[in-house]
Amino acid sequence: MGRTLITGGAGYIGIELVDELLQAGREVTVLDRLLHGQTDRADELRERGVTVVEGDIRDTVARGHALHGAEAVVHLAAIVGDPACARDPQLAQEVNVDASFALAAEAADAGVEHFVMASTCSNYGRMADPTTPIDETGVLAPVSLYAEQKVAIEQHLLGLDPAPFAVTCLRFATVYGVAPRMRFDLTVNEFTRDLWADRELEVFGEQFWRPYVHVRDAARGIAAVLGAPREQVAGEVFNIGDTRENYRKLDLVEEIRKQTDKGNVSYVQRTEDPRDYKVAFEKVHATLGYEVTRTVPEGIAELLRALDEGFFPDAFEPRYRNTP
Ligand SMILES: NC(=O)c1ccc[n+]([C@@H]2O[C@H](COP(=O)([O-])OP(=O)(O)OC[C@H]3O[C@@H](n4cnc5c(N)ncnc54)[C@H](O)[C@@H]3O)[C@@H](O)[C@H]2O)c1
pLDDT tens digits, one per residue of 143-190: 899 999 999 999 999 999 999 999 999 999 999 999 999 999 999 999
Closest CA to 255 of 174, 179, 195: 195
| Ligand 1 surroundings by CB, under 6 angstroms | 8, 10-14, 31-36, 56-58, 76-80, 95, 118, 120, 172, 174-175, 181, 183, 186, 322
pLDDT at 1 exceeding the cut of 80: no
pLDDT at 291 exceeding the cut of 70: yes
Q: Does domain 3-175+212-240 have CATH number 3.40.50.720?
A: yes
pTM attached to this predicted model: 0.97
Determine the distance separating the centroid of ligand 1 and the alpha carbon of 262, expressed in angstroms: 31
Average pLDDT score, the chain: 95
| Ligand 1 atom nearest residue 36's Cα | 37
For residue 125, what pLDDT is reported? 87
Domain ranges across the chain: 3-175+212-240
